[in-house]
Every structure is written in C-alpha cells, then in structure tokens.
Amino acid sequence: QVQLVESGGGLVQAGGSLRLSCAASGSTSSRYSMGWFRQAPGEEHELVAAISKIGDTIYYKASVKGRFTISRDNAKNTLYLQMDSLKPEDTAVYYCAASAAMLSVEKGRYAYWGQGTQVTVSS
C-alpha cells in the first residue's frame, strides 16, 4: 500500500507556471505507474498525464501537451507535474494517483489517491 501527498498548488495568473509534487510513502513508488488527475467543479475526474514505473512511457491529455511535463524521481519517491502557460480552464483540484498497471488511462485502474491540491488560474 502507498500513501500519496500532493503539494505545490496555488493561485496564478494566466500564462504563469506551477510545479506540483506528490510524495509517496509506505511502499516503493517504483512499483507503481503514476498519474495526475484533475477535477473541476461539477465535472468528473480527468487524467491529465501518466508515467510508467520507470518513466519510459508517458501519456498527456491533448489539451495540456506541450504545456505540462510529468516526471518522477524514484530515488526520492516523488512525482512531479510542471505546468507552464497555464490557462483559466486548467483551474481544478489536482490529484496524484498510483496504479499497479504498467501505464493506464483508466481511472478505475488507480487504486491509491492523494487528497488533492487546488490550482486556480485567474484571467
């Protein structure tokens, strides 16, 4: 089992940047592929980016490709999401999640979730 704690959210103006971190504990994070999801008010969770166990395969939602970068440091048991050129439509609670699958875009394959961190982008 793994516990996940996100940090790095906040309020930023459109065009700005934020870096989210997700610290894993309780189990070696390299056993899991990882993903960043977000949920805007009244919306379902959507997968923003995912990375395989050793970081050799990455998925991005089309609307964030070229603006967001997912990475992981297994030695530090930490997952990152660098978000650049932020837009108001990126406003949401961002969650990191862990999956035993090699890499998955399905929410149901992620068994472990953090508590979320709020990202607000003002126009």
The answer to whether the beta carbons of residues 84 and 68 sit under 8 Å apart is yes
The answer to whether the beta carbons of residues 38 and 95 sit under 8 Å apart is yes
* pLDDT tens by residue, 38-72: 999 999 999 999 999 999 999 999 999 999 999 99
Q: Give the per-residue pLDDT at 27.
A: 72
Identify residue 82 by its one-letter amino acid code. Q
List of long-range contacts for 47-53, beta carbons under 8 Å, 24+ apart: 47/105, 47/107, 48/81, 48/94, 49/81, 50/103, 50/104, 50/105, 51/79, 51/103, 52/102, 52/103, 53/102
* pLDDT tens by residue, 66-120: 999 999 999 999 999 999 999 999 999 999 999 998 899 999 999 999 999 999 9
* pLDDT tens by residue, 3-28: 999 999 999 999 999 999 999 988 77
In the three-class reduction of DSSP (H, G, I as helix; E, B as strand; rest coil), residue 6 is classed as strand
Can you give the length of the chain in residues?
123
Q: Give the per-residue pLDDT at 17.
A: 98
Q: Give the per-residue pLDDT at 1.
A: 85
Per-residue pLDDT for 30 more than 90? Answer: no
Q: Give the per-residue pLDDT at 28.
A: 74
